[in-house]
A and B are shown apart, each in its own frame.
Chain A
Amino acid sequence: MISELLKFWQPVLEIIILWYVFYHLLVFIKGTPAVQVLKGLIFLIILFLISLFIAQKLNLTIISWILPKFFAVFLLSFLIIFQPELRRGLAQLGQGPIMGLFFREERIIDEVVDAVYSLAEKKIGAIIALEREIGLKPYIESGVSVDSKVNSELINTIFMPHTPLHDGGIVIQGGRIIAAGCLFPLTQNPKISKGLGTRHRAAVGLTDETDALVVIVSEETGIVSLAREGKLIREVDRETLNKVLNNALMQSKRPKFSFKKLTRMKTK
């Protein structure tokens, strides 16, 4: 039985590969003007197949010879008609999971750091949680779904005072801003200074329960802080923040940045 089934592994694999390619092509052009063009093309293909079938049945040799030649030209026109989409697709491939793997995390960190120091300069309060191994689903659900690329301007806009989402935190998951206006649990740690506000308490609270990394910008002082593993580091400079985020998120082979060492350094 199994050996009988194994005989068909090649056709099945080929159909799976074809399905994968077709599916991703359809997803790619879904919602673009190319859909209308594709509908027209499908109509022409059906017309061609019917014409060819009829020509062969009626033994119309000249027509049967011409039609496939037209079809070859038609395939060439496909490349010309879909040239903008093909160009866009190739550009996306360049930014995709294979090529983008090496640059994406670095770009995300740069965007976050840029946003954080821009907000700090303007003394606009912010709280940004970066998900790691432990999921932040319950906190994501407490906010508003965003699902956007990580972008410094967008982060700045979210935290603008008097806007609906500025009070909560944003969650970055898998290189995307998943949600904004999220509520994080407040820490019960008595060691946390009484002078710190709700934003800082929420950041530490989240890192008490998860392995997330939370960056906080103080509304009063514009000081940038970093929370991780239930600890809060105040006055983190741009370079350090970049280093910590890089080490924590990129999981590179470089020697790991010691958070404990940083804690000791800051508390001295």
Chain B
Amino acid sequence: MKQWLTNNFWLKMISLILAVVTWFYISGELAKRPSSYYPRPPNMPKP
């Protein structure tokens, strides 16, 4: 386990930072959008 962690440690850390940043960025972008899970009622005006 320790060997697995220390092997390419910095690459693992950079990947983790990239993964967290990407996740937060995309989730932030998705939060801006209106939800596509529920269809808009036909009479409702477009946002």
CB < 8 Å neighbour of A22 from B8, B15, B27: B15
Q: Give chain B nearest CB distance to A209 CB in angstroms.
A: 26
Contact with A along B1-28 (1 / 0, CB 8 A): 0000000100110111011101100010
Chain B residue numbers with a CB within 8 Å of A26 are 11, 14-15
Chain A residue numbers with a CB within 8 Å of B20 are 15
Q: Judging by beta carbons under 8 Å apart, are A30 and B11 in contact?
A: yes
Q: Judging by beta carbons under 8 Å apart, are A19 and B19 in contact?
A: yes
How many chain B residues touch A (Cβ–Cβ < 8 Å)? 12
Q: Across the two chains, which residue of chain A brings its CB closest to B25?
A: A49
- Give the A-B pair count, Cβ closer than 8 A: 32
Q: Give chain B nearest CB distance to A105 CB in angstroms.
A: 25
Q: Judging by beta carbons under 8 Å apart, are B23 and A22 in contact?
A: no
Q: Give chain A nearest CB distance to B11 CB in angstroms.
A: 5
C-alpha spacing A62/B12, complex, angstroms: 39
Q: Judging by beta carbons under 8 Å apart, are A27 and B19 in contact?
A: no
C-alpha spacing A26/B19, complex, angstroms: 12
In the complex, whether A133 has a CB less than 8 A from a CB of chain B is no
CB < 8 Å neighbour of A27 from B11, B16, B18, B22: B11
Contact with B along A9-34 (1 / 0, CB 8 A): 00100111011001100110010000
| A residues at B contact (CB < 8 Å) | 11, 14-16, 18-19, 22-23, 26-27, 30
19 CB contacts below 8 A, A to B, read A11-B23, A11-B27, A14-B23, A15-B16, A15-B19, A15-B23, A18-B18, A18-B19, A18-B22, A19-B16, A22-B14, A22-B15, A22-B22, A23-B15, A26-B14, A26-B15, A27-B8, A27-B11, A30-B11
